[in-house]
């Protein structure tokens, strides 16, 4: 041992001119200390055997002490730890701290004191035990303990005690390093919890480096992205969004960098080939101002939500019976079509289709059959349209169709013909063979309307026009049609009040006998004086009055007014020989008509022979038996019957033979062209001859000139009525004519 030390000393002295190698000297001194202890020698004997003076040994110790202290101070300043140097009795030899305020007690009150002097009994006990254990084992021991700081706040400390391997005043020295680990532990705990939470989260969490590479991902992403972690880790994040590739888009990442975050839905291709919808939130995270950014991505699988949303959307926009788009979706599609049409300067059409007679089928065969028929109609229509066209069901038996990008005006007509044709074919619904047709109204965009509502309204108007014309046809909307639809509405409103407001009055047109030129009768013609609108002719309101159920009270009013007029003429002594009154075909089926007329005649004491009722040929043919019975009773009463507008109803006189008719009025359309059109001439001649053979009188309507009059005279016509002989006039005008008594000159 001594030899080894001697050699070591020699070597160290040889290097004496170089800066002292503290490590080598420290090792030497450690060996010296070991030798003291082992051999239990005193210092003097050892120094002598090593041939080193006590002074040199002392200076060596001193030098090392100084250099060690300097190092210790440096360490203490660099680290946030407290360094306590103690001897084996627990007495503090020194204490080092980067800042004095780290010590609870001033430094001077620590050095030279024991732990018991400074700490409470409880702490002292713990520290002493730790010291003891370190001395016993000769190895590092550590302890964690809580202690309140100067502000009374609980802190957590870690004390690490090591034997220093040197003695101070013959006592072993120990170093205790005390570190405040409150924050570190808190962070450690927090980090542990966060890591646990991240691992257990159902949400996929991915962390990217600045190159958008996946540097960390939690297990949830395996489920969400349907990819194994290994397939994702250290890979570019774009692998997640394939084939949508949004995450590979540089512009997308520029947006994330600019805004700092991004939220939205992405679609990912899964390894199984199925598509997944993910809700993705990305946050750009920069821990240090100059550091590289990281990206934290949160992923939620919303595939199921997406599917149910799609389902709901479908339910909200689909007609459940036919599976076609419903009114809501149709409106939306129409608006889109209008935008496209405006942008591309193309023409489109909106078709409004309503089944004819559907209500009858539904009411007679039941709703189930009705529903099946609607489904079959929807399917049949679908077969005849292009994929880009939108066929929708608006409800009931109403369908709409949007046709876009019509190249030629003829295209629309072709489609319309095709659709009408398709619907005419028989529908086999269960045991039933059903026939239905459709009325289709069309508005063309952009020509017929600025917006969806206007186009729908116009197509609807056109559809009603098609329906009014008998159905199984189409009508295109025109400005004229809208106007007439409007005035139709307006007239209907006015008619409802006209009777009460006494806005109706009668004019009378004279009828002359050709043979004598004498006035043999007048025809009562109804007029409506609409305040603000002037005189309105019967052609404009009689059809509507018939339709809205107003013709019966109106007809009754006319007959009463005629009777009152006859009374007035009688009083003036100017009653014409016969007064013709027009009767609507609708009135003919009224079983109360006869009683009403009889009552009237009795009330005003008007002889039945004075009256002639004019009815149209189509009226009596259409109305059949009830009309026939009514007419018979009227003639039994003594009222004469004339067939009005003869020749327009395609019936032959033979057919009319069974009715008790007295006169035939040849429609003015034949008289107008009688000198120009040989057909008309032939019809007029034949009618006169046939009427004569049946014993009926012929009255020619609408005689406007002398040539027509001459022709009629030569052809054997008996009575004429027309502007040439006299326009419809006031009762006073008739009185004057009667009073003058002069025959109609030209006749």
Smallest gap from Cβ 506 to Mg ion, in A, equals 13
Q: Which of residues 627-686 bind Mg ion (CB under 5 A)?
A: 644-645
Binding string to ligand C2E for residues 424 to 453, with x set by CB under 6 A, is what? ------------------------------
Q: Which does 722 bind (CB under 5 to 8 A by kind): ligand C2E, Mg ion, none?
A: ligand C2E
Per CB under 6 A, the segment of 5-13, 21-29, 343-351, 536-544 that binds ligand C2E is 536-544
Among 134, 439, 482, 582, binds ligand C2E (CB under 6 A): 582
Give just the sign of the alpha carbon dihedral 634, 639, 642, 644.
negative
The count of other CB atoms within 10 Å of the CB of residue 591 is: 9
Rg, Å, the chain Cα set: 59
Closer residue to ligand C2E in complex, CB, 92/541: 541
Q: Which of residues 651-710 bind ligand C2E (CB under 6 A)?
A: 668, 701-704
Q: Residue from 190, 505, 694, 723 that binds ligand C2E (CB under 6 A)? A: 723
Taking the complex as a whole, how short is the minimal distance between the CB of residue 539 and Mg ion, in angstroms? 11
Give dist(CA 253, CA 240) in Å, integer.
15
239: Cβ contacts below 8 Å, ≥ 6 apart: 227, 231, 232
Please say which residue, 110 or 579, places its beta carbon nearer to ligand C2E. Answer: 579
Task: Spell out the long-range contacts of 495-501 with Cβ–Cβ below 8 A and sequence spacing 24 or more.
Answer: 495/528, 495/541, 495/544, 495/545, 495/548, 495/550, 496/548, 496/550, 498/528, 498/530, 499/550, 499/553, 499/554, 499/557
CB of 319 to Mg ion, least distance (A): 50
Question: Which one of 392, 728, 735, 737 is in contact with ligand C2E (CB under 6 A)?
Answer: 728
Binding residues for ligand C2E, how many (CB under 6 A)? 25
Question: Is the Cβ of residue 441 or residue 494 nearer to ligand C2E in the bound state?
Answer: 494
* Number of C-beta neighbours around residue 74 at 10 A: 11
Shortest distance in whole angstroms from residue 623 CB to ligand C2E: 14
Cβ proximity to ligand C2E, 30 vs 496, nearer residue = 496
> For helices 452-468 and 327-344, what crossing angle results, to 10°?
110
Nearer of residues 86 and 616 to ligand C2E, judged by Cβ: 616
Nearer to ligand C2E, 715 or 729 (CB): 729
Q: In angstroms, rounded to a whole number, what is the distance separating the alpha carbons of residues 266 and 251?
A: 15
Return the number of the residue (449 or 555) whose C-beta is nearest ligand C2E.
555
Phi then psi for 497, rounded to 5 degrees? -105, -15
640 binds ligand C2E (CB under 6 A): no
The residues near 483 (Cβ < 8 Å, ≥ 6 apart) are none
To ligand C2E, the closest distance from the beta carbon of 584 in angstroms equals 4
C-beta closer to ligand C2E: residue 9 or 542:
542
Q: Are 307 and 289 in contact (CB under 8 A)?
A: no
In whole angstroms, what is the distance from residue 141 CA to residue 132 CA? 10
Min CB(581)–Mg ion separation in Å: 9
Whole-angstrom distance, CA of residue 447 vs CA of residue 350:
11
Q: CA–CA separation, 519 vs 512, rounded Å? A: 4
Whichever of 136 and 539 has its CB closer to ligand C2E, that residue is 539
- 107-111: Cβ within 8 A, 24+ apart: 110/84
* Rounded (5°) CA angle 372-374-375: 65
Q: Do residues 520 and 577 make contact, with C-beta atoms less than 8 angstroms apart?
A: yes
Judge if the upstream peptide bond of residue 603 is cis by omega within 30 degrees of 0: no
Question: Least Å distance between CB 519 and ligand C2E?
Answer: 15
| Total residues in contact with Mg ion, by rule CB under 5 A | 5
Q: Smaller CB distance to Mg ion: residue 355 or 724?
A: 724
Min dist CB 670 to Mg ion, Å, is 11
Task: Report the residue number, 361 or 506, with the smaller CB distance to ligand C2E.
Answer: 506
Candidate list 319, 640, 644, 718; residue touching ligand C2E; CB under 6 A: 644
Identify what 338 binds: Mg ion, ligand C2E, none; CB under 5 to 8 Å per kind: none
Site string for ligand C2E, 494-523 (x = CB under 6 A): ---------------x--------------
Beta bridge partners of 616: 644
Instruction: Provide CB contacts within 8 A for 307, sequence distance 6+.
Output: none
d(CA 79, CA 93): 20
Decide which of ligand C2E, Mg ion, none touches 42; Cβ closer than 5 to 8 Å per partner kind.
none
- State which residue, 276 or 579, has the beta carbon closest to ligand C2E: 579
Rounded Cα–Cα distance for residues 271 and 368 (Å): 47
Please state, in angstroms and rounded to a whole number, the distance separating the CA atoms of residues 122 and 125.
5
The residues of the shown chain that bind Mg ion, judged by CB under 5 A, are: 582, 614, 644-645, 701
Residues that bind ligand C2E (CB under 6 A): 509, 524-526, 537-539, 542, 555, 558, 582-584, 614, 644-645, 668, 701-704, 721-723, 728
């Amino acid at each position: 041992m001594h030899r080894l030390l001697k050699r070591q000393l020699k070597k160290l002295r040889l290097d004496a001119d170089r800066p002292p190698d503290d490590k080598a000297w420290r090792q030497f001194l450690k060996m010296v200390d070991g030798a003291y202890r082992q051999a239990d020698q005193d210092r003097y004997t050892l120094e002598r055997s090593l041939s080193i003076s006590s002074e040199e040994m002392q200076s060596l110790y001193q030098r090392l002490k100084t250099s060690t202290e300097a190092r210790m101070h440096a360490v203490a300043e660099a680290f946030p730890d407290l360094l306590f140097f103690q001897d084996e009795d627990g007495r503090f030899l020194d204490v080092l701290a980067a800042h004095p305020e780290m010590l609870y007690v001033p430094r001077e009150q620590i050095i030279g004191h024991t732990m018991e002097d400074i700490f409470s009994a409880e702490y002292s006990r713990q520290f002493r035990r730790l010291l003891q254990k370190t001395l016993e084992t000769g190895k590092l021991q550590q302890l964690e303990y809580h202690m309140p700081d100067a502000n009374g706040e609980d802190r957590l400390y870690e004390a690490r005690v090591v034997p220093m391997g040197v003695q101070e005043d013959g006592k072993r020295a120990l170093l205790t390093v005390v570190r405040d680990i409150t924050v570190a532990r808190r962070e450690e705990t927090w980090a542990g919890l966060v890591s646990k939470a991240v691992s257990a989260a159902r949400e996929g969490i991915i962390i990217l480096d600045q190159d958008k590479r996946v540097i960390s991902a939690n297990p949830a992403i395996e489920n969400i992205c349907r990819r194994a972690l290994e397939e994702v880790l250290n890979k570019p994040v774009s692998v997640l969004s394939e084939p949508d590739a949004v995450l590979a888009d540089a512009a997308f990442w520029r947006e994330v960098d600019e805004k700092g975050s991004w939220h939205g839905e992405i679609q990912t291709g899964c390894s199984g080939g199925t598509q997944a919808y993910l809700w993705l939130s990305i946050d750009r995270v920069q821990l240090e101002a100059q550091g590289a950014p990281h990206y934290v991505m949160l992923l939620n699988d919303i595939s199921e939500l997406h599917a149910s949303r799609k389902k709901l959307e479908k339910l909200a926009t689909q007609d459940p019976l036919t599976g076609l788009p419903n009114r809501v979706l149709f409106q939306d599609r129409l608006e889109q079509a209008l935008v496209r049409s405006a942008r591309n300067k193309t023409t489109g059409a909106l078709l409004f289709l309503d089944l004819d007679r559907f209500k009858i089928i539904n009411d007679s065969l039941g709703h189930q059959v009705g529903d099946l028929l609607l489904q079959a109609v929807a399917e049949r229509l679908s077969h005849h349209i292009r994929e880009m066209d939108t066929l929708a069901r608006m409800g009931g038996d109403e369908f709409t169709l949007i046709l876009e990008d019509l190249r030629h005006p003829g295209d629309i007509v072709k489609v319309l013909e095709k659709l009408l044709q398709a619907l005419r074919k028989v529908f086999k619904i269960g045991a039933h063979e059903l026939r239905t047709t459709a009325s289709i109204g069309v508005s063309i965009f952009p020509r017929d309307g600025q917006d969806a509502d206007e186009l729908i309204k116009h197509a609807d108007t056109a559809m009603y026009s098609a329906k009014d014309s008998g159905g199984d046809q189409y009508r295109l909307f025109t400005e004229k049609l809208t106007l007439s639809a409007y005035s139709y509405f307006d007239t209907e409103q006015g008619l409802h009040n006209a009777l009460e407001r006494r806005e109706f009055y009668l004019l009378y047109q004279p009828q002359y006998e050709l043979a004598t030129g004498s006035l043999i009768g007048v025809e009562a013609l109804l007029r409506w004086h609409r305040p603000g609108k002037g005189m309105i002719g019967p052609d404009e309101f009689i059809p509507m009055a018939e339709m809205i159920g107003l013709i019966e009270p109106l007809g009754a009013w006319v007959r009463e007014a005629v009777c009152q007029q006859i009374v007035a003429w009688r009083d003036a002594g100017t009653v014409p020989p016969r007064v013709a009154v027009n009767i609507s075909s609708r009135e003919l089926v009224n079983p109360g008509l006869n009683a009403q007329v009889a009552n009237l005649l009795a009330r005003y004491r008007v002889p039945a022979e004075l009256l002639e009722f004019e009815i149209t040929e189509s009226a009596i043919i259409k109305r059949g038996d009830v009309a026939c019975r009514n007419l018979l009773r009227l003639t039994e009463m003594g009222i004469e019957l004339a067939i009005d507008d003869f020749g327009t109803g395609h019936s032959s006189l033979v057919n009319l033979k069974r009715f008790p008719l007295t006169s035939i009025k040849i429609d003015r359309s034949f008289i107008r062209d009688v000198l120009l059109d040989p057909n008309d001439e032939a019809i007029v001649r034949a009618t006169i001859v046939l009427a004569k053979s049946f014993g009926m009188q012929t009255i020619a309507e609408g005689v406007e000139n002398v040539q027509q009059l001459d022709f009629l005279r030569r052809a054997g016509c008996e009575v004429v009525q027309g502007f040439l002989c006299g326009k419809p006039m006031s009762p006073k005008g008739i009185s004057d004519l009667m009073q003058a008594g002069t025959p109609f000159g030209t006749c």
